[in-house]
Structure 1
């Protein structure tokens, strides 16, 4: 019995551009429920985590934007994701900015001894308060999940770290800050930049990623930031970076993950309908979910 539970996380507190809080609505409007009902025995849309309209606050000590609120809302998401996993359903989280991964991973990782993570993104999201140029927490969730960062964030879920550096694969990177590059080298994190994707081809990148994670993990979380794709294909994102993964390459990647059967949880983040063109980016997200969950052309 294949069950899926959808959780909306309409949070824009991890960055400065308004509109990404409407991401879950845009993805639903693009037909996510209808699309996935054909691929699961049961699909439950659990609605949205309540975020409200809080005032922006900069933490005086760390200079982090909305630190307390991000920690508090991440805990709410962690609780709900934890519940979904306990019920034997596949958790699919709709963002929201990428800081939501702090809560998703806190809810998922406690159920696995060695959770693997595929970080499909133009960015590494490995910043800390010390290395971040902006103080925006959406550039930090992968570091936080490794136990690196402000204790209010690393302790979400009541334990840390959530994941190990050797169980991470970053795919699509093309905008890394100096502090992130250092951390990648120091921790030995596997990264396929756009250079590798161009050089090797997406088929080889995914074959290697799946083989790398399959032998050492007991579950894999896919964290897909729509800015991993080229802005030509996914224009509605807050931090677009030219020269990204194509729509077709992304479908191939999702189809290969579907065939491998390794993915046990997922989130799709950074859909911002205000910056979009006729809800194209949300539609791309839904189409990629179809491929990830085994939709076939024939």
Structure 2
């Protein structure tokens, strides 16, 4: 069977984060040979776009830069969807999710809402009214739910790209009261890290998959590398102790892109400046290889 081609899209944005180093994460993975590693005879893989945010300094400039970037990233994702490819967005800070999932929601809007699994150490549900840092990478979940800065939430001219009942957040362990209050008021299912540790990441992902596929036309996965334990993935801008083990993540994500309705994948927050011995780069390769169909290539060939 011919699988969908993987359209790798580099989301070169660090303006949403306090540490901008993840802006160069996609390029670092590209130079390391990510596309060649993922490609199979029955499933091509290649870089379809590299979208870069303009530089910004002040809080207002950063929000404007992320908003303009989100629109251009959404265009790149839309082109991949129209070709019939599977968009695989590689970040970049997590503000890129606004562009990724707004595009997917817009493409599937005639058929119904989309679902989203958000694997992250953080809730990313701040609005400008609740954020102390005003960093846009802490706002994409709120924006996708239709709250916060209109420049992010109102992409394509409508609000609520994700409905609360179609969003599941897994692995959260670092968050503030304001964003937690918003999500709890909206009724979003949040599997905090103690629950993940008690039940196992695999069981949590099974429940999340069932929820995001229920009464939706499509679904996707947004995976922040800081969800992993820093021992396995030190190369992020905001590592948080006691995270998900890499092997548990690989087991739970195995072939998830083959599940009915999977519209896109997103892997974010790789910061090559903080990596140790290429550990996080290798984890990124392994996660994407596990998640996409035809996972046959040995990871050992990357170690050199």
Q: Fold match, TM over 0.5? A: yes
Contact between 1:230 and 1:242, CA under 8 Å: does it hold in 2? yes
Higher relative contact order (CA 8 A, sep 6+): 1
Q: 1:216 Cα deviation (Å)?
A: 2.1
Cα distance in 2 between the residues matched to 1:164 and 1:40:
35
SS state at 1:111 partner: helix
SS state at 1:167 partner: strand
* Structure 2 residue aligned with 1:182: 181
* Structure 1 residue aligned with 2:240: 241
Cα distance in 2 between the residues matched to 1:55 and 1:117:
29
Contact between 1:23 and 1:273, CA under 8 Å: does it hold in 2? yes
Q: 1:235 Cα deviation (Å)?
A: 0.2
* Structure 1 residue aligned with 2:127: 128
**TM-score in terms of structure 2 length:** 0.91
Cα distance in 2 between the residues matched to 1:259 and 1:199:
27
String of CA shifts for 1:125-162, please: whole Å, max 9, x gaps: 00001111211000000100111011111122332221
Contact between 2:124 and 2:140, CA under 8 Å: does it hold in 1? yes
1:103 maps to 2:103: no
Q: 1:261 Cα deviation (Å)?
A: 4.0
* Structure 2 residue aligned with 1:80: 76
- Relative to structure 1, is the Cα distance of residues 173 and 179 closer, same or farther in structure 2, using a 3 angstrom cutoff? same
**TM-score in terms of structure 1 length:** 0.92
* Structure 2 residue aligned with 1:155: 154
* Structure 1 residue aligned with 2:191: 192
* Structure 1 residue aligned with 2:52: 50
> What RMSD over aligned residues (CA atoms) do the two structures have, in Å?
1.8
1:223 maps to 2:222: yes
Q: 1:124 Cα deviation (Å)?
A: 0.7
Contact between 2:117 and 2:212, CA under 8 Å: does it hold in 1? no
- Relative to structure 1, is the Cα distance of residues 192 and 40 closer, same or farther in structure 2, using a 3 angstrom cutoff? farther
Cα distance in 2 between the residues matched to 1:225 and 1:207:
18
Divergent runs of 4+, >3 A: 258-262
Q: 1:116 Cα deviation (Å)?
A: 0.6
- Relative to structure 1, is the Cα distance of residues 256 and 192 closer, same or farther in structure 2, using a 3 angstrom cutoff? farther
SS state at 1:19 partner: helix
1:24 maps to 2:32: no
- Relative to structure 1, is the Cα distance of residues 168 and 55 closer, same or farther in structure 2, using a 3 angstrom cutoff? closer
* Structure 1 residue aligned with 2:302: none
Cα distance in 1 between the residues matched to 2:259 and 2:81:
20
Q: 1:44 Cα deviation (Å)?
A: 3.0
1:93 maps to 2:93: no
Q: 1:215 Cα deviation (Å)?
A: 2.4
Q: Which runs of 5 or more residues in structure 2 are unaligned?
A: 299-304
Cα distance in 1 between the residues matched to 2:52 and 2:115:
28
Cα distance in 2 between the residues matched to 1:210 and 1:41:
24
Q: 1:253 Cα deviation (Å)?
A: 1.7
String of CA shifts for 1:188-239, please: whole Å, max 9, x gaps: 1111111111111223212212222222222111111000001111001011
Q: 1:296 Cα deviation (Å)?
A: 4.9
Cα distance in 2 between the residues matched to 1:251 and 1:293:
11
* Structure 2 residue aligned with 1:283: 282
